[in-house]
């Protein structure tokens, strides 16, 4: 059994949906569970709607109409029969959403967010499932909320693995095991799940990869494939580097490291479940499905072949020193870490000297002020804003020189395999 994941860019218009069918054609007769994200930038649009709803903005309905129009345009293009059930199904989702948006919001923003934003995946999978059925790819639509059970941490649901396994065994496995006259294709949503009392929850932005990995784990899949708009895993983000190379094969360990340092190609939680069951993960191009792509597995031999570059913008570098010039010792550190954790700030890099401790983290408007206030009670605090953090895996001096050319380096750290530099975001004048 295989698990496929199609992201937003792979289903962002009617042509793209047709292409998904073309890809599935090559796997006819196999047992495949297909996890799909919301179409194109729908999640962003729904986030905006949620914000408007919460602010009681008169724009809310207009924003919703835009999302509705976008989807019906795709449906119109895919379905000739204007009485097809898909029209009814999607209209119903939008009617319910509108109903929600004219009711009063509760105090809990994260809860409301999940009730609204989760619709993107419900809509995309309904459309795709109907379309595939129409084209002779008999499939079963599955409500992921029946399987992906979590706690109540809205917007970042923590998976209850035991429950998920139990639900998979009862609701998914039988479909694949019993000789199924309707074929062996199941279509389900990424990103969403449900709480113990049955409310919809999301797993965090870009969480569809993670959903696919949860299904792959529970189904003990033979492989998982993420279909993307790039040829595979690249050693750098083409947004920032023009000279990128494909990583043909890397280990789970390397993939986790890359995600940890901020490579955005795969959601960071995705690798662990796959590693635990030794399920290979392929990243392939949905534009050139015949090409090799990349493989992530337990083989470590190719890890160091090509250096990888990870670029994080909008970083703050903050240095903390005790007011009385005393040493930074264990007690200070545990105090400092507690303050960071209370303010929900994740540390990207840290370094200490005798009397100061430096920390680099993403600029975070909400809690930054409160962090500074708490630290200033006992420490002297200085900081620089708008910096870039560059990480190179498998670096050499030449690669370091390349990324730091004409840049002022504020802090540098090297381990055997990883070099990190915090640099100013403007180029130095010669
Ligand atoms: N649609 C969600 C998002 O854009 C989940 C995903 O695409 O992975 O964040
Ligand atoms: Mg996405």
Q: How confident is the model at residue 181 (pLDDT cuts 50, 70, 90)?
A: low
Judge if 200 and 342 occupy the same domain: no
Measured in angstroms, how far is the CA atom of residue 206 from the centroid of ligand 2? 5
Q: How confident is the model at residue 263 (pLDDT cuts 50, 70, 90)?
A: confident
Q: Whose CA is nearest to atom 8 of ligand 1?
A: 206
Judge if 7 and 102 occupy the same domain: yes
**What's the confidence (pLDDT) of residue 282?**
98
**Mean pLDDT in residue range 279-308:** 96
Contacting residues for 293 by C-beta, under 8 A, at least 6 apart: 225, 231, 232, 282, 283, 284, 285
**Is residue 276 one of the residues assigned to a domain?**
no
* CB 207 less than 6 A from any atom of ligand 1: yes
**Is residue 384 one of the residues assigned to a domain?**
yes
Measure the CA–CA gap between 114 and 329, rounded to whole angstroms: 42
Q: Domain end: 194, 221, 248, which one?
A: 221
**What's the confidence (pLDDT) of residue 36?**
98
Measure the CA–CA gap between 151 and 198, rounded to whole angstroms: 10
Give 212-242 pLDDT, tens digit per residue: 999 999 999 999 999 999 999 999 998 888 8
Which of 144, 137, 118, 154 is closest to 38 using CA atoms? 118
Judge if 190 and 338 occupy the same domain: no
From 206, 214, 264, the mutation candidate for ligand 1 (largest count of ligand atoms within 8 A of CB) is 206
**What's the confidence (pLDDT) of residue 359?**
96
**Is residue 383 one of the residues assigned to a domain?**
yes
Share of the chain above pLDDT 70, in %: 98
Measured in angstroms, how far is the CA atom of residue 32 from the centroid of ligand 1? 21
Residue 180: pLDDT above 80? no
The DSSP string of 306-352 is: S-EEEEEEEEEEEEEEETT-----HHHHHHHHHHHHHTT--EEEEEE
More confident residue, 260 or 420: 420
Give 357-392 pLDDT, tens digit per residue: 999 999 976 889 999 999 999 999 999 999 999 999
**Is residue 47 one of the residues assigned to a domain?**
yes
**What's the confidence (pLDDT) of residue 298?**
96
Q: Whose CA is nearest to atom 7 of ligand 1?
A: 206
Measured in angstroms, how far is the CA atom of residue 366 from the centroid of ligand 1? 23
From 7, 8, 204, 266, the mutation candidate for ligand 1 (largest count of ligand atoms within 8 A of CB) is 8
The DSSP string of 238-258 is: TTT-SS--B--EEEHHHHHHH
**What's the confidence (pLDDT) of residue 240?**
84
Judge if 74 and 183 occupy the same domain: yes
Judge if 33 and 182 occupy the same domain: yes
Q: What is the largest CA-CA distance in the chain?
A: 77
**Mean pLDDT in residue range 36-59:** 97
* CB 8 less than 6 A from any atom of ligand 1: yes
Helix, coil or strand: residue 130:
helix
Q: How confident is the model at residue 10 (pLDDT cuts 50, 70, 90)?
A: very high
* CB 206 less than 6 A from any atom of ligand 1: yes
**What's the confidence (pLDDT) of residue 365?**
67
Q: Which of 8-17, 110-119, 265-274 has the lowest mean pLDDT?
A: 265-274
Q: Which of 172-186, 237-251, 295-309 has the lowest mean pLDDT?
A: 172-186
Helix, coil or strand: residue 150:
strand
**Is residue 298 one of the residues assigned to a domain?**
no
* CB 280 less than 6 A from any atom of ligand 1: no
Which of 287, 312, 286, 284 is closest to 296 using CA atoms? 284
**Is residue 302 one of the residues assigned to a domain?**
no
Buried b (16+ CB within 10 A) or exposed e, 162-186: eebbebbeeebeebbeeeeeebbbb
Judge if 173 and 318 occupy the same domain: no
Contacting residues for 107 by C-beta, under 8 A, at least 6 apart: none
Judge if 201 and 312 occupy the same domain: no
**Mean pLDDT in residue range 327-344:** 91
Give 392-425 pLDDT, tens digit per residue: 999 999 999 999 999 999 999 999 999 999 999 9
Output DSSP code: residue 293: -
* CB 40 less than 6 A from any atom of ligand 1: no
Question: Average pLDDT over the chain, rounded to whole?
Answer: 94
Residue 155: pLDDT above 90? yes
Measure the CA–CA gap between 20 and 14, rounded to whole angstroms: 10
**Mean pLDDT in residue range 53-57:** 94
Judge if 37 and 155 occupy the same domain: yes
| Domain enclosing residue 68, as ranges | 2-221
From 205, 214, 215, the mutation candidate for ligand 1 (largest count of ligand atoms within 8 A of CB) is 205
Judge if 215 and 312 occupy the same domain: no
Q: Domain end: 221, 243, 277, which one?
A: 221
Residue 334: pLDDT above 70? yes
**What's the confidence (pLDDT) of residue 245?**
94
Q: Domain end: 163, 198, 221, which one?
A: 221
**Is residue 267 one of the residues assigned to a domain?**
no
Q: How confident is the model at residue 179 (pLDDT cuts 50, 70, 90)?
A: low
Q: How confident is the model at residue 428 (pLDDT cuts 50, 70, 90)?
A: confident
The continuous run of DSSP H or E covering 51 comes out as: helix 42-54
Q: How far apart are the first and last CA of the chain?
A: 59
Measure the CA–CA gap between 14 and 148, rounded to whole angstroms: 28
Domain total in the chain: 2
**How far is C-alpha 47 from the geometric centre of its chain's CA atoms?**
15
Q: Where are the alpha helices (DSSP H) in 79-227?
A: 85-102, 109-117, 119-134, 161-167, 173-177, 208-219
The Cα-based distances of 425 to 78, 162, 230, 390, 419 in angstroms read 46, 46, 27, 11, 18
Residue 108: pLDDT above 80? yes
CATH number at 340 reads 3.30.2130.10
* CB 120 less than 6 A from any atom of ligand 1: yes
**Is residue 369 one of the residues assigned to a domain?**
yes
Residue 65 φ/ψ, nearest 5 degrees: -60, -40
Which of 273, 247, 23 is closest to 148 using CA atoms? 273
Which of 209, 184, 190 is closest to 1 using CA atoms? 184
More confident residue, 210 or 353: 210
**What's the confidence (pLDDT) of residue 105?**
87
Measured in angstroms, how far is the CA atom of residue 76 from the centroid of ligand 2? 23
Measure the CA–CA gap between 413 and 217, rounded to whole angstroms: 36
**Mean pLDDT in residue range 39-49:** 98
Judge if 54 and 169 occupy the same domain: yes
Q: How confident is the model at residue 258 (pLDDT cuts 50, 70, 90)?
A: very high
| CA gyration radius, the chain | 24
Judge if 69 and 211 occupy the same domain: yes
**What's the confidence (pLDDT) of residue 137?**
93
**What's the confidence (pLDDT) of residue 48?**
97
């Amino acid at each position: 059994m295989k698990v496929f994941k199609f992201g937003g860019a792979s289903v962002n218009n009617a042509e793209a949906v047709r292409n998904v069918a073309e890809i599935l054609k090559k796997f006819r007769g196999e047992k495949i569970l297909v996890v799909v994200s919301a179409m194109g930038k729908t999640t962003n649009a729904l986030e905006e709607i949620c914000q408007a709803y919460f602010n009681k903005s008169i724009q809310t309905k207009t924003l919703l109409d835009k999302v509705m129009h976008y989807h019906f345009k795709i449906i119109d293009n895919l379905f000739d029969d204007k009485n097809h059930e898909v029209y009814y199904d999607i209209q119903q989702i939008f009617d319910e959403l509108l109903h929600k948006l004219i009711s009063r919001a509760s105090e809990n923003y994260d809860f409301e967010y999940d009730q609204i934003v989760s619709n993107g995946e419900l809509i995309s999978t309904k459309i795709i499932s109907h379309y595939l059925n129409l084209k002779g790819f008999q499939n079963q639509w599955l409500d992921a909320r029946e399987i992906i059970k979590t706690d109540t941490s809205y917007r970042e649901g923590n998976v209850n693995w035991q429950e998920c396994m139990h639900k998979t065994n009862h609701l998914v496995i039988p479909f694949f095991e019993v000789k199924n006259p309707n074929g062996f294709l199941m279509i389900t949503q990424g990103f969403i799940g449900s709480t113990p009392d049955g409310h919809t929850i999301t797993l965090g932005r870009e969480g569809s990869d993670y959903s696919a990995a949860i299904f792959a784990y529970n189904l003990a899949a033979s492989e998982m494939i993420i279909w993307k708009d790039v040829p595979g895993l690249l050693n750098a983000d083409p947004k920032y580097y023009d000279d990128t190379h494909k990583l043909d094969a890397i280990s789970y360990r390397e993939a986790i490291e890359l995600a940890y340092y901020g490579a955005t190609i795969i959601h960071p939680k995705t690798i662990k479940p796959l590693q635990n069951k030794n399920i290979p993960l392929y990243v392939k191009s949905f534009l050139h499905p015949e090409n090799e792509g990349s493989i992530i597995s337990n083989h470590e031999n190719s890890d160091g072949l090509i250096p990888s570059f990870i670029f994080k913008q909008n970083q703050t570098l903050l240095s903390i020193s005790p007011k009385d010039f005393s040493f930074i010792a264990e007690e200070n550190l545990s105090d400092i870490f507690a303050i960071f954790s209370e303010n929900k700030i994740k540390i990207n890099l840290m370094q200490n000297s005798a009397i100061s401790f430096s920390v680099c983290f993403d600029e975070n408007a909400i809690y930054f002020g409160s962090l500074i206030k708490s630290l200033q009670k006992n420490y002297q605090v200085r900081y620089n804003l708008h910096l870039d953090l560059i990480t190179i895996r498998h670096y050499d001096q030449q690669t370091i020189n390349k990324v730091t050319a004409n840049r002022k380096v504020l802090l540098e750290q090297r381990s055997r395999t990883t070099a990190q530099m915090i640099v100013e975001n403007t180029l130095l004048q010669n």
